[in-house]
Amino acid sequence: MSSNPGGGTRLDPWFGAYARRTHGLRVSETRALFSVASRPEVVSLAGGMPFLDALPMDLIAKVTADLLATEGTVALQYGNGQGHPTLRGQISQVMAEESIQAHPDDVVVTTGSQQALDLVTRVFVDPGDVVLVEAPSYVGALSVFKSYEAWIEHVPMDESGLIPEALAEAVKRLSRAGRRIKFLYTCPTYHNPAGVTLPVERRVEVLDICQRAGILLVEDNPYGLLGFDGRITPAIRSLHAEGVVYLGSFSKTLAPGYRTGWVTAPHAVREKLVLASEASILCPSHASQLSIAAYLENCDWLGQIGVYRQVYRERCDAMLSALAEFLPECSWTKPAGGFYTWVSVPEGVNTKTMLPRATTALVAYVSGTAFYADGQGERQMRLSFCYPTPERIREGVRRLGGVLTKELELVALFGPHGPGPDVTGPAADVTGPAPDVA
């Protein structure tokens, strides 16, 4: 037998056989951070992991055991590609909290809302098609769009989210250039990573711009119910059923380990999504779906979301106070909900090259460059307040303040372009391969 069957390199005999799309795949910055964040001595302000200690775990264990003991042969069997009707009905009720009126038939259950994003992109995007995204945008969405060889176009935001005038300008410019814009991807509520929220007036404007241009609006809303004051901004989907594909998730309001999210779409689009999902995974997990259905049925899920809100409000407060105390040279957004704040550092500091030094100082964050497809974000970073306790958040921000102070000293000594990152020592693995979105 040939020792080099693919005609490729010695390191990878199949190198020559990969599809075109595969050559663009890169290890993401956030994946490298997983290993760092898991070290107990590091305060991770990097990940988006919900604080599951707040869940009534004994009750969940009991409800799940009852489900398996009484309906195990259903819960562990194959299901249909669209998702279990009981859960889809409950999802309609969850969305009603955000003023969405959607029939359970319009809901497709997915393996986390990440799969929903994958399916929407698969169904709509040919290589070279344009996807409009906020600047910055969710790193996992950028990965999907890149994997389908989309052209990613960032649209500027401000403290109130996506700027309608900038969107209109981008649409005009790209249309004039003959580009096919497939959809706008937006996270309007407690934005990841920016932490800002699009006001209702802007939602109307943004939707109107998309409608006039014949552009689908993809609304990603995993944090919508996690507003600190308990008020809920109506989803864009509540304004228009036919023009919006809505992505929801149980990952932040319940738990991500079930990998259960959903997409609500206009009828014909929904049918395409189901077919694409069947080809991709046959059907979503019945075990997860029916466990969640039993939880929603037997537990006070809205009360639990209230518990989460309190936890995250307290942690956000801790973070904002610590930022004021330890990073006075920076500016940051003031989230009204969700998991993240977006911090801008002084000119001359580069958050990507600073990251190894931060992890050496036992604090982790995600560099702003992860959230752009075009190399922006070197002066920003995302800080998460969802997982560590308020005390740990304060300690993490204190460490970050120390790192930044030294960074500013270096900038003062060498100027903004020297002496470059120190990638030796224990933090070297954090930088890893090039990020897929920078």
Question: Residues 139 to 168: which contact a copy of itself by CB under 8 A?
Answer: 140, 143-144, 146-147
Question: Is position 435 an interface residue for a copy of itself (rule: CB under 8 A)?
Answer: no
Question: Is position 186 an interface residue for a copy of itself (rule: CB under 8 A)?
Answer: no
Question: Is position 193 an interface residue for a copy of itself (rule: CB under 8 A)?
Answer: no
- Using the contact rule CB under 8 A, the part of the chain among 192-200, 211-219, 321-329, 404-412 near a copy of itself is 211-219
Question: Is position 201 an interface residue for a copy of itself (rule: CB under 8 A)?
Answer: no
- Which of 159, 278, 300, 374 touches a copy of itself (CB under 8 A)? 278
- Using the contact rule CB under 8 A, the part of the chain among 1-9, 190-198, 390-398, 412-420 near a copy of itself is 1-9
Q: To the nearest whole angstrom, how small is the minimum distance from the Cβ of residue 222 to a copy of itself?
A: 12
Question: Is position 287 an interface residue for a copy of itself (rule: CB under 8 A)?
Answer: yes
Q: To the nearest whole angstrom, how small is the minimum distance from the Cβ of residue 350 to a copy of itself?
A: 26
- Which of 88, 122, 237, 352 touches a copy of itself (CB under 8 A)? 122
Amino acid at 91: I
Q: Which is nearer to a copy of itself, 146 or 357 (CB)?
A: 146
Q: Which is nearer to a copy of itself, 150 or 196 (CB)?
A: 150
3 state SS for the chain: CCCCCCCCCCCCCCHHHCCHHHHHCCCCHHHHHHHHHCCCCCEECCCCCCCHHHCCHHHHHHHHHHHHHHHHHHHCCCCCCCCCHHHHHHHHHHHHCCCCCCCHHHEEEEEHHHHHHHHHHHHHCCCCCEEEEEECCCHHHHHHHHHCCCEEEEEEEECCEECHHHHHHHHHHHHHCCCCEEEEEECCCCCCCCCCCCCHHHHHHHHHHHHHHCCEEEEECCCCCCECCCCCCCCHHHCCCCCEEEEEECCCCCCHHHCEEEEECCHHHHHHHHHHHHHHHCCCCHHHHHHHHHHHHHCCHHHHHHHHHHHHHHHHHHHHHHHHHHCCCCEECCCCECCEEEEECCCCCCHHHHHHHHHHCCEECEEHHHHCCCCCCCCEEEEECCCCCHHHHHHHHHHHHHHHHHHHHHHHHHCCCCCCCCCCHHHHHHHCCCCCCC
Q: Is the bond preceding residue 188 a cis peptide, omega within 30 degrees?
A: no
Q: Which is nearer to a copy of itself, 144 or 323 (CB)?
A: 144
- Which of 96, 282, 302, 434 touches a copy of itself (CB under 8 A)? 282
Question: Is position 392 an interface residue for a copy of itself (rule: CB under 8 A)?
Answer: no
- Which of 88, 286, 394, 399 touches a copy of itself (CB under 8 A)? 286
How many chain residues touch a copy of itself (CB under 8 A)? 105
What x/- string results for residues 54 through 83 when contact with a copy of itself is judged by CB under 8 A? -x-xx-xxx-xxxxxx--xx-xxxxxxx--
Q: To the nearest whole angstrom, how small is the minimum distance from the Cβ of residue 383 to a copy of itself?
A: 18
Question: Residues 234 to 263: which contact a copy of itself by CB under 8 A?
Answer: 240, 242-243, 251, 255-259
Other Cβ atoms closer than 10 A to 207: 20
Report strand pairing: 43-44 vs 363-364: parallel
Question: Is position 128 an interface residue for a copy of itself (rule: CB under 8 A)?
Answer: no
Question: Is position 223 an interface residue for a copy of itself (rule: CB under 8 A)?
Answer: no
Q: Which is nearer to a copy of itself, 31 or 398 (CB)?
A: 31
Question: Is position 406 an interface residue for a copy of itself (rule: CB under 8 A)?
Answer: no
Question: Residues 301 to 360: which contact a copy of itself by CB under 8 A?
Answer: none
Question: Is position 270 an interface residue for a copy of itself (rule: CB under 8 A)?
Answer: no
Question: Is position 115 an interface residue for a copy of itself (rule: CB under 8 A)?
Answer: yes
Q: To the nearest whole angstrom, how small is the minimum distance from the Cβ of residue 169 to a copy of itself?
A: 19
What residues have CB less than 8 Å from 165, skipping those under 6 apart? none
